Amino acid sequence: MTLKRIALPLCLLALLAGCGDEQQEQLDISVIGDQLTVKDPAIQPVDPARAVMLAATAQGLVRFDAAAQVQPGLASRWAIVDQGRSLIFRLTDGNSEGPRPDWLSARAIAERLRRSLVNNPANPLSPQFNAVESIRAVTPQVIEIRLTSARPELLTALAQPEAGLLFGRSLRGTGPLKIVKQTEQGWVLVPVDIDGKSLAAVDGKTLTSVKIRAEKAPLAVARFARGWTHLVLNGQLQDLPLVAAARINDRQLQVDPTNGLFGLAIGSKQTFLQEPAIRRALAMAIDRPALLHSFDLARDMAQESLLPPRLADLPDAPASTWITMGQDEREAFARAQLAEWTASGHEIPTLRLALPSGHGSDLLFRHLRTQWARIGVPIERGNAADADLWLIDMVAPADTASWYLRQFMCVPGRICDHFADGKLIEAKDAATPEQRIDALRTAASSYNDTTPFIPLFRPIRWSLVAPTLDGFTPNGRAIHPIDLIRFGRARP
């Protein structure tokens, strides 16, 4: 990737004075973020950086593999029966140290799942489990999750880091890795069972440990550029220009093909923004391919409707009515809407837009300012407290319409659609899959009309991967299990 239009200082490497080389057998990882301390998702939300540590040290019934496909965790196998209303999990038989301890019994795991995932406002994953009727231990080795109606993506939700299980006051997890110490350079993790299976031997040398740290994006990128770390995770759009500034080889940048929400939420304070036609005009005027081109990102990352196509619970999701129009036609239509507003005696205010700090956000703001100026709408940067529009940047935990639509249910200070909210409640309580699909489709169409959100493109998640590593696969969840990353032969 090369961002030729962006001029950035190339002094990042000076940040790393005093750093030293790492031993080849230890995998060195930088996670862009503030902290990596293990937090219990049953008690408080887990940010993306902490989710990396949680996924490494606290698996759930199932977990993701490198391609974000569901694989065994605490459960060795599972079955979905009774037309999708019952999920049966058989736990693993134990480990090399002996039988399964009481704190890992089916009863203890079922209780922990109920506490963490069912009706728990502290865990943002909890709404995915609103159809759970019961979670119970059927036998000492078998757990059943019983649903009021089928939820096709529940298994995917159970593989998310926020569904990882921690036990006791010590927040004990079951791996696949465990923390052995904390140093000034980061945390050191080793496999729970160091048998060469989790972190494979290469050329007779076994990768026995992982050093992982959280740090700001400039330092993480600079460390990678010097070869002092092998992997950088959790990159987002606001920090993407740093990669080009550090002159990192394009092949070492990996961008995940995510689904989710990346766009502008709309506040309700401005009378100007309370008009659906105005909100649609703002959405139509944005040239998304031009935005993506400025970041050297693929055009297929653009997203023009609230919902992506091909969702598990809503086939053929309704799209915005204007997506078939060309860009010139969209801008002309948007200008006509603004002309009607001013002709009725109203003024067009300067809108305040809140974005995270970073060179990528600066570039995004400049493009939005230019594109909205073409239709006569001025904008300026503001803070979250007084903004009229602000960025939402979320990777979807499951490909379901219900997840997307729930993000825009009525809360104070935001554009609201009570009719669509009612349809979401209908969908939750629907007696048949057909009734659920119908309610979700009606809600989605209503949200498209009211436009509570201006989509820009799919969430941008990127990583830097050394050519000596194997086991890293870009995927739609932007989740990369670090126990599956290992040293291989250098690529040409």
Over residues 261-307, the pLDDT tens digits come to 999 999 989 999 999 999 999 999 999 999 999 999 999 999 999 99
Largest CA distance in the chain: 79
Q: Quick one: tokens of 259? A: 């689904």
19-28, 117-126, 368-377, 390-399: which has the minimum mean pLDDT? 19-28
* CATH 3.90.76.10 residue spans of the chain: 59-163
CATH 3.40.50.720 fits 260-455, yes or no: no
The answer, yes or no, to whether residue 94 has pLDDT greater than 60, is no
Tell me the angle at which helices 327-343 and 276-284 cross, rounded to the nearest 10 degrees: 150
Q: What is the mean pLDDT of the chain?
A: 89
Which of 492, 2, 24 shows the shortest CA–CA distance to 249?
2
Q: What is the pLDDT of residues 172-208, one digit of tens each?
A: 898 899 999 988 888 999 988 644 344 444 444 455 7
Q: What is the pLDDT of residues 408-434, one digit of tens each?
A: 999 888 998 999 999 999 998 888 889
How many residues does the structure list for the chain? 492
Give CA–CA dist 150/376, Å, rounded. Answer: 48
Q: Report the pLDDT value the prediction gives residue 479, as an integer from 0 to 100.
A: 97
* CATH 3.10.105.10 residue spans of the chain: 260-455
Strand, coil or helix: 356:
coil
Residues 6+ apart with CB under 8 A from 249: none
Q: What is the pLDDT of residues 306-344, one digit of tens each?
A: 999 889 899 889 999 999 999 999 999 999 999 999 999
pLDDT top residue among 433 and 438? 438
Identify the bridge partners of residue 487 per DSSP, sorted by sequence position: 469
- The confidence band for 489, taking pLDDT boundaries of 50, 70 and 90, is low
Q: DSSP state, 244?
A: H
- Concatenated DSSP letters for 252-314? GEEE----EEEEEEEBSS-GGGG-HHHHHHHHHT--HHHHHHHTT--GGGB--SSS-SSBTTB
What is 59-163's CATH number? 3.90.76.10
Q: Where are the alpha helices (DSSP H) in 124-240?
A: 154-158, 217-225
Give CA–CA dist 315/305, Å, rounded. Answer: 15
Q: Report the pLDDT value the prediction gives residue 65, as an integer from 0 to 100.
A: 96
Q: Report the pLDDT value the prediction gives residue 475, as an integer from 0 to 100.
A: 96
Q: What is the pLDDT of residues 203-244, one digit of tens each?
A: 444 557 899 999 999 999 999 999 999 999 999 999 999 999
- Find out whether 348 and 435 touch, Cβ atoms under 8 Å: no
What percentage of the chain has pLDDT greater than the value 90? 76
Give CA–CA dist 352/320, Å, rounded. Answer: 25
Matching residue, tokens 């939005």: 368
Q: Report the pLDDT value the prediction gives residue 170, as an integer from 0 to 100.
A: 80
Q: Quick one: tokens of 330? A: 């969209």
* CATH 3.40.190.10 residue spans of the chain: 23-34+177-257+460-487
Which of 420, 478, 463, 459 shows the shortest CA–CA distance to 303?
459
- Concatenated DSSP letters for 176-203? SEEEEEEETTEEEEEESS-SSSSS-EET
Give CA–CA dist 455/349, Å, rounded. Answer: 22
Please give the CATH architecture assigned to the domain spanning 23-34+177-257+460-487.
Answer: 3-Layer(aba) Sandwich (3.40)
